[in-house]
Amino acid sequence: MTLHASLIEQADAFTGNALLLTGPARVGKRAVAQAIAAAQNCQGARGMDGEACGVCRSCLALAAGGHPDLLLVEPRATTTTGKTARRKLIPIGAVLQGRDKGREYETHIYEFLEVRPTFNRRVVIVDGAEYLGPEAANALLKLVEEPPHRALFLFLAEDRRSVLPTIVSRSARLGVAPLADHTIESALIRTGQAADAELIAFAAGRAGVLADLDGVRTALEDARELDNSLGVSLLSALEAAERLEKRFDPAWHPEALRFTWRERPAHQRARADAALDTLQSALEAYASPSLSYQVFALNVRDAFGMS
């Protein structure tokens, strides 16, 4: 059973053209959207709650990651040279092939929807609807209002208020809420994973955390190592920062560091958060990574009164 089965059931009764799924980062919005897409195209006997069968041709294609009727659109987090983008954005080039001058997107929404579905319904998942630029959003409006071949749009965002009103007004809304800790624990046990208390606390009910447990555990381990080294000596802190630089994953390490600091006094957390923000800004501005991490370690030591 899908962790958010009740949302799949609600979506199954939806007959419109666009759904806006909102909820905290990594709460499981993409998994819900993919489950909705699977249910919309399932060719087998679906469950009572509307879930896809999991064994028909359509479901197997989705599980293999190459479903012909599903398009995932995300903001570009890197530039064409591979560096971190200064600002996330879903440009108009994601919608119209002719406007994709840098050829950033392999498949474009407009062209994707011109083709009839292989199974039942073409589904476009826009993960990061808050990053839709005005041009891209305006280009989408006609498609959302009158989608070719009954296509379905699934817009995902952390906060409805950050999505352009033109998209919000044309979408029905579903909230994806965090799950209970015992549900996360049960999901870990079912997959043969250790349901340790730290991991469950870090997940905080967000099912999306379960999709990359190795990455999460590595980030938590690195955050603990850095935190422990700060009070040992300046040299120890700088060496830990050097190791952190080599393993830093922007998807998990910032959150893992803040999680590790969660029991420190508020004024210390605020200063450490500012140091982390400064580090990320420096990396986005292509500053020297080695120097940036060393400065970060020094700033956090100072925030915790260890200088």
Which of residues 18 and 211 earns the better pLDDT score? Answer: 18
What's the confidence (pLDDT) of residue 77?
A: 59
104: exposed, middle or buried (C-beta count within 10 Å: 0-12, 13-18, 19+)? middle
Do 272 and 300 form a contact (C-beta atoms < 8 A)?
A: yes
What average pLDDT does range 123-131 have in this prediction? 96
What's the confidence (pLDDT) of residue 78?
A: 47
Residue ranges of domains in the chain? 5-177, 182-303
Which of residues 4 and 100 earns the better pLDDT score? Answer: 100
pLDDT tens across 34-83, in order?
A: 999 999 999 998 877 778 999 999 999 999 988 999 999 999 754 444 45
What's the confidence (pLDDT) of residue 2?
A: 61
For 204, phi then psi, to 5°, come to 50, 40
Q: Which residues have C-beta within 8 Å of that of residue 278, sequence separation ≥ 6?
A: 295, 296, 299
CB atoms within 10 A of CB 275: 19
Q: Grade residue 3 by pLDDT with cuts at 50, 70 and 90.
A: low
**Residue 248, SS3 per DSSP:** coil
Residue 102 has pLDDT above 90, yes or no: no
- Cα angle 264, 237, 257 (rounded to 5 degrees) comes to 40
CATH topology (fold) of 5-177: Rossmann fold (3.40.50)
Residue 11 has pLDDT above 90, yes or no: no
Average pLDDT taken over every residue of the chain: 91
Do 267 and 252 form a contact (C-beta atoms < 8 A)?
A: no
DSSP state of 55: S
Q: Which residue has the tokens 């406007």?
A: 99
What b/e string do you get for 66-92 counting C-beta neighbours within 10 Å, with b at 16 or more? ebebbbbbbbbeeeeeeeeeeeebbbb
217/213 Cα distance (integer angstroms): 6
Which of residues 76 and 241 earns the better pLDDT score? Answer: 241
Query: Which amino acid, residue 298?
Result: L
What's the confidence (pLDDT) of residue 87?
A: 65
pLDDT tens across 245-296, in order?
A: 999 999 999 999 999 999 999 999 999 999 999 999 998 888 899 999 999 9
pLDDT tens across 159-212, in order?
A: 999 999 999 999 999 999 999 999 999 989 988 888 889 999 999 999 989 989
